[in-house]
């Protein structure tokens, strides 16, 4: 349960308790002036508690909005990070290669068998995929040395 919800629940319970005590005391009193004063005091306390609860909720909403914005920005950056989506034709596993659009198991095996590549486009010149297939995936390919860390 969030701390803001706990504060609101506590405030509500406290307010109900104050109002209940006020009503009990006013029921025991036959003096209308005393009853009015007790009701006014209980109402003022309720207003203060409600303001405090609203402030806490607003702070919580602002924090949640900030966190959500940061998370969305992180997702956007991750999706736009070209390096993280690059597939190295010299080091990629068969599964990684098959994750590329249009690459089946036979083509993935051919890419692996024809390693190493100096340039990603060599998968075309070595016959692993056609030029048309390469055009669909070329922007996602790299060919760095298998020994490079």
Task: Break the chain into its structural domains and give their ranges.
Answer: 3-80, 85-142
Whether cis (ω within 30° of 0) applies to the bond prior to 116 is yes
Specify the CATH class of 85-142 in words.
mainly alpha
Rounded CA separation 149/125 (Å): 26
The two three-digit tokens of residue 37, written as one number? 């004063």
**What is the reported pLDDT for 148?**
43
pTM over 0.85: no
**pLDDT < 50: residue spans in the chain:** 148-149
């Amino acid at each position: 349960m969030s701390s803001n919800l706990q504060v609101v629940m506590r405030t509500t319970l406290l307010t109900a308790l104050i109002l209940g005590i006020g009503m009990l005391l006013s029921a025991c009193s036959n003096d209308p002036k005393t009853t009015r004063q007790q009701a006014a005091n209980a109402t003022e306390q309720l207003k203060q508690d409600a303001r405090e609860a609203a402030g806490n909720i607003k702070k919580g909403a602002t924090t949640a909005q900030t966190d959500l914005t940061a998370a969305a920005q992180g997702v956007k950056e991750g999706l736009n990070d070209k390096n993280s989506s690059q597939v190295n034709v010299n080091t990629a596993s068969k599964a990684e290669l098959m994750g590329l659009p249009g690459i089946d198991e036979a083509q993935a095996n051919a890419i692996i068998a024809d390693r190493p590549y100096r340039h990603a486009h060599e998968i075309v010149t070595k016959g692993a995929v056609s030029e048309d297939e390469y055009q669909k995936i070329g922007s996602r390919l790299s060919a760095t040395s298998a020994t490079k860390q």
